C-alpha cells in the first residue's frame, strides 16, 4: 500500500504576529512546526507500515519547509516531497489544493491519502476535500477511528458536527481527514532524527509538474478568494461582582442588569429569579 500524508508547515500560534494591514500571517515572526492535526495523520500512516505500507509525506512551502519534511521522516515517514516554487506563493485553499493534487499525480499510483482535519493557522478544513474532488476519489472527514484496511477498501468511523457516529467504507484509492482523537502522537526516535539530517528530500517546482497543473491555476493567479482584512479580537475583561451575604440585593441587581442589556422586559413589578 502506498500512503501519502499531507502535512503543512505552520507557525507557533502562541508567538506568531499578524500583518493586519495586508491580511496575512507573519510567518517569519515565529518558529515553524508541523501542523498538530497533521501529526495524527502521520501517526496513522506510520501504524499502517506494520501492514507493509510505504509512507510518503508531501507538503507545499518555501525552501525552509524542508526542515518540516525532515521532521516527518524522523517520525517514521519513508520518503519526503517538497513542492516549492515562488509561483505557488499567495495561494488560497483552492490553489493550494490544485498544487498538492498535482504533486500527488506527479508521484504516480497511490492507495490512500491522509491529512489532518484542519490547520491551526487557516482553520478552514477545506483542502483535503478539495484535493479529493480534484483527484476524483472518495473522501471522509473527521475520522476518529480506522476500523479495517483491505487491498481494495478502508472502513472508518467518523463523528459528524452533531456528535453522532457513522461507519463508512470507502473504495481505494481514497482520502481521509483525521481528528486528534484518532491516536496518540509518538515522539521521534533519536536514531531517526539523526538519519533525517541527511536523508534526501525530493523537490518539485511548477515546471516539474507540467501536464498536471499550470501557472494560471496556482498561487495568486489560481486563487478564487482573497483576504481583505485580518484582525486580532480585543481581549474581553470580566467585571465580576460578588454577593455573598445579601441574596435579595443580588437578585435585584441581576434583574436590573438583564433589563439594561435588553435581555428581559424592563417591568416595574418585582420578579422572582429562580
Quick: pLDDT tens for 8-59. 998 776 666 666 666 566 666 667 889 999 999 999 999 999 889 999 999 9
Span 146-198, pLDDT tens digits: 999 999 999 999 987 777 899 999 999 999 999 999 999 999 999 999 999 99
Domain 2-222: which topology?
Rossmann fold (3.40.50)
Query: For the whole model, what pTM was predicted?
Result: 0.80
Place of cell 434583574: 255
Peptide bond before residue 173 is cis, with ω within 30 degrees of 0? yes
Cβ(4)–Cβ(141) below 8 Å = no
3-class secondary structure, 54: strand
Flag whether pLDDT at 110 surpasses 80.
yes
For 142-161, b/e burial (b = at least 16 CB within 10 A) is bbbbbeebeeeebebbbbee
Tell me if 4 sits within 8 A of 114, measured CB to CB. Answer: yes
**Lowest mean pLDDT segment, chosen from 28-32, 134-138, 200-204, 215-219:** 28-32
pLDDT at 267: 57
Helix axes 93-107, 127-135, angle to 10 degrees: 50
Domain boundaries, the chain: 2-222, 239-274
Residue 264 DSSP code: S
Q: Which residues contact 111 (CB under 8 A, 6 or more apart)?
A: 1, 2, 3, 172, 173
* CA distance between the termini of the chain: 62
Task: Work out the number of other CB atoms within 10 angstroms of the CB of residue 190.
Answer: 9
Q: Which pLDDT score is estimated for 274?
A: 45
> Hunting for cell 478539495 — which residue is that?
130
Amino acid at each position: 500500500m502506498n500512503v501519502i500524508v499531507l502535512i503543512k508547515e505552520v507557525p507557533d500560534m502562541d508567538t506568531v504576529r499578524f500583518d493586519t494591514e495586508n491580511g496575512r500571517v507573519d510567518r517569519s515572526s515565529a518558529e515553524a512546526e508541523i501542523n498538530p492535526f497533521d501529526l495524527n495523520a502521520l501517526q496513522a500512516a506510520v501504524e499502517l507500515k506494520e501492514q507493509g505500507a510505504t509512507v510518503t509525506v508531501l507538503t507545499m512551502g518555501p525552501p525552509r519547509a524542508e526542515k518540516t519534511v525532515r521532521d516527518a521522516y524522523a517520525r517514521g515517514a519513508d520518503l519526503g516531497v517538497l513542492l516549492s516554487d515562488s509561483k505557488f506563493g499567495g495561494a488560497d485553499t483552492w490553489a493550494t489544493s490544485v498544487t498538492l493534487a498535482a504533486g500527488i499525480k506527479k508521484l504516480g499510483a497511490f492507495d490512500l491519502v491522509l491529512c489532518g482535519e484542519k490547520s491551526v493557522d487557516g482553520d478552514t478544513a477545506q483542502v483535503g476535500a478539495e484535493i479529493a474532488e480534484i483527484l476524483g476519489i472518495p473522501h471522509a472527514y473527521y475520522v476518529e477511528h480506522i476500523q479495517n484496511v483491505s487491498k481494495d477498501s478502508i472502513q472508518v468511523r467518523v463523528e459528524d458536527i452533531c456528535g453522532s457516529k457513522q461507519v463508512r467504507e470507502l473504495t481505494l484509492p481514497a482520502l481521509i481527514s483525521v481528528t486528534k482523537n484518532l491516536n496518540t502522537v509518538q515522539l521521534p526516535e533519536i536514531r531517526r532524527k539523526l538519519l533525517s539530517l541527511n536523508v534526501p528530500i525530493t523537490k518539485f517546482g511548477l515546471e516539474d509538474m507540467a501536464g498536471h497543473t499550470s501557472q494560471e491555476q496556482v498561487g495568486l493567479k489560481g486563487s478564487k478568494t482573497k483576504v481583505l482584512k485580518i484582525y486580532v479580537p480585543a481581549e474581553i475583561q470580566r467585571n465580576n461582582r460578588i454577593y455573598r451575604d445579601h441574596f435579595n440585593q443580588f437578585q435585584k441587581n441581576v434583574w436590573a442588569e438583564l433589563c439594561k442589556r435588553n435581555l428581559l422586559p424592563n417591568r416595574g413589578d418585582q420578579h422572582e429569579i429562580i
